[in-house]
Amino acid sequence: MRLKKSLILVFLLLVANPVCAEPLDLKKALVLGLQNNLDLKVVALDVQQADSGVLGQKSQFDVTAELAAGQSEAEILTASAFFPGESLTVETFSGKFSLSKQFATGLQSRLSLQGDRTEGGSSDFLSDQLDPAYQANMVLDLTQPLLKDFGWNANLAGINAAQIRKKQAALSYLGRAVQLVAEIEAAYLELAKAQEEYRHYTLARDLAQELLDGNELKLDAGLIPVTEVNEARSALAGREESMLLAQQGVLLAHNSLIDLLHEPEISQSEDLQVEFPKLDNSVFPELEEALSQGLNKRPDLLQMRLETDIRQIELDYADNQLWPRLDLEGSYALNGLAGDDQGAGSVYAGDWNDALSGAFDRDGTQWYAGLRLTMPLQNRAARAAYDSSRVSKRQTLYQLQRREIATETAIRSAHATTELGAKRYEVAKRYAALAEETLEQENQRLDEGLSDTFRVLSFQNALITARIREISAKVDYYKALSTLFAAMGTNLERYEIVAALPRIGAE
C-alpha cells in the first residue's frame, strides 16, 4: 500500500497541473503585450512625428500668398517753370497681392498684382492730364539657380531625408516589438518555470508528510526508533521552506509578466496560470540560414542602412553647396494706366477697372533677363559643412559594419547555446527518469525492511533536484530559442504575428 501511494505521488510530481482557469498561452500573451504595452505605444508615436517631419519639409514648396496695403504722402520741392509754387504735395494709396512658389528644380516664381492711386499736384502741371491717376501692374518674376541649389537632388534633399527617417521610425517600432516579444517570452517562461518548481516542491512536501505519517505508525508499533520520525519531520520542515521560497518566486515572476502585458484583467488576476509552449524543431534554422536572415531582416540593421542613405543625401547636398550661386533671372510686367481727365482729353481717362483692363490689353509692357553670380571668396562655411558630412558618412559606415559584426556574433552565440541547450535538456530528462526509477526501487526496499528513512529521503531529494534541473534545462533551451530568433529579428514571424503600425493620427 505504501509503495502504491508513493508511486502515485511520484506520478503527480511529474505531471501535476492544478485545476484552475484556462491557462494563458504564450502567443496570446505576446499579442496582448503588442496591443497594450505602453512603451511600445510611445515608440509608435515616433512614426507619427516622423510623418509630421515629412509634411514640414514639403512645406517649402507651398504656395505663399501676400497681401499688402498702404498710404504715403510726400511734399516735393520744385523749381519747375510749369509750376508756380515752391512745393508739390502727393498722396499715394497702394495695394498689392502676390503669389509665390518654389519648385523642385530650384525655380522661384512670384506673380504680383499691384495698384496705386496718386493724387495731388497733377492739375498744376501742364504736362499732367490725370489727377488722381490709377496705375495697375501685373509682374511675373522668375529666378532659376544654375549651380548652387540647382536640381531635384539639392531641393528635395530635406524631403528625401525626412521620408527615410519615417521608415526608420517604423523600423524602430518593429525593433521595439521584436524586443518586447523577447522580453515577454522570457518573463512567460520564468513564470512557467516558477509554477512548475512550486508544484514539485509542494508534492515533495507531500512525500515527506506521507513518509512521516508512515514512520509514526511504525514508531507506535515499535518497529523503528524515534530518530527515524525526527528525520522525516526535519525533511518536512525543510521542504515546506523550499515550497514557500518557490511560491515567492511565482509571485515575482507573475508580477514581471503582467508589467509587460499591461492587460487590466490579467493584472488583477492573482492565479494566472501559464504552460510551456510546444516546440517545433522544424523551425530551428541552420547556422548559415540564421545568419542570412539576421543580416537581412533585423530592424536595427535595416535602420542603420537607411542612416547611410541619409548621410549620402546630406553629402550630396553639401557638395552642391560648394558651388557659387549663378542665377538666371527673368521678369515680365504688364502696366495699365487710368485716371480723372483734367480737360486735355486724355485717352487714359477712367477708373481702377480701366487701369486693370489696360494692363491686360498690354497698354505697357516691360521685361528683364539676366544672370547674377554670387560667390564667397573663401567659402569656408560650405567647405566645413562638406567635410563634416563626409566624416559623418564614414562614421555611419563604420557603425553599420560594427553592428553587422555584433549581429553575426550574437546569432552564432545564440545558435550554439540553442544546440547545446537541446542536448542538455535531453540529458536532464534521462537523469530525471533514472532518479525516478532509483526512488521506486528504494521504496520497494523500504517496504521490505531493507532501507531506512535517511536513504528514502536522500533519493526523494535526488528526484526533486533532477526534476528541477530538468525544468531549468527546458526553460534555458526555450530561452535560447527565443534569443536566437530575436537575434535574427524573426521572432514575430515565428509566432505568425504582424506588428502593424497604428493608423497615423489615431489615438
Compute the average pLDDT of residues 138-163.
Answer: 94
**269-283, 326-340, 397-411, 489-503: range with lowest mean pLDDT:** 269-283
Q: How many CA atoms lie within 13 A of 220 on its CB side?
A: 5
Distances, alpha carbon 197 to alpha carbons 13, 192, 405, 421, in Å: 10, 9, 39, 19
Compute the average pLDDT of residues 218-223.
Answer: 87
Q: What confidence category does residue 241 fall into, taking pLDDT thresholds of 50, 70 and 90?
A: very high
Q: What confidence category does residue 6 fall into, taking pLDDT thresholds of 50, 70 and 90?
A: very low
**506 or 295: which leads in pLDDT:** 295
Nearest Cα residue to 133 out of 119, 143, 123: 119
Neighbours of 239 (CB within 10 A): 23
pLDDT digits (tens, 9 = 90+) for 347-395: 677 777 777 777 777 667 889 999 999 999 999 999 999 999 999 999 9
**15-19, 108-112, 118-122, 145-149: range with lowest mean pLDDT:** 15-19
Q: Which grid coordinates belong to 504?
A: 497615423
Q: What confidence category does residue 81 fall into, taking pLDDT thresholds of 50, 70 and 90?
A: low
Distances, alpha carbon 284 to alpha carbons 175, 186, 281, in Å: 21, 18, 5
Rounded Cα–Cα distance for residues 1 and 212 (Å): 15
Neighbours of 494 (CB within 10 A): 19
**119 or 316: which leads in pLDDT:** 316
Rounded Cα–Cα distance for residues 397 and 391 (Å): 10
Q: Please give the single-letter amino acid code of residue 443.
A: N
Q: Is 240 helix (H, G, I), strand (E, B) or coil?
A: helix
Distances, alpha carbon 7 to alpha carbons 3, 31, 235, 409, 445, in Å: 6, 41, 19, 47, 14
pLDDT exceeds 80 at position 446: yes
Distances, alpha carbon 478 to alpha carbons 185, 467, 475, 490, in Å: 9, 16, 5, 15
Compute the average pLDDT of residues 108-127.
Answer: 74
* Cα 229 from chain centre: 63
**36-45, 103-112, 121-130: range with lowest mean pLDDT:** 121-130
Rounded Cα–Cα distance for residues 172 and 392 (Å): 21
Q: What confidence category does residue 124 fall into, taking pLDDT thresholds of 50, 70 and 90?
A: very low
Average confidence score pLDDT of the chain: 86
pLDDT of residue 447: 81
Task: Judge if the upstream peptide bond of residue 132 is cis by omega within 30 degrees of 0.
Answer: yes
- Identify the sign of the CA torsion 268, 18, 32, 295: positive
Rounded Cα–Cα distance for residues 103 and 93 (Å): 33
pLDDT exceeds 90 at position 434: yes
Rounded Cα–Cα distance for residues 113 and 334 (Å): 10
The model's pTM is 0.82
Q: What confidence category does residue 78 fall into, taking pLDDT thresholds of 50, 70 and 90?
A: low
pLDDT digits (tens, 9 = 90+) for 464-482: 999 999 999 999 999 999 9
pLDDT of residue 345: 65
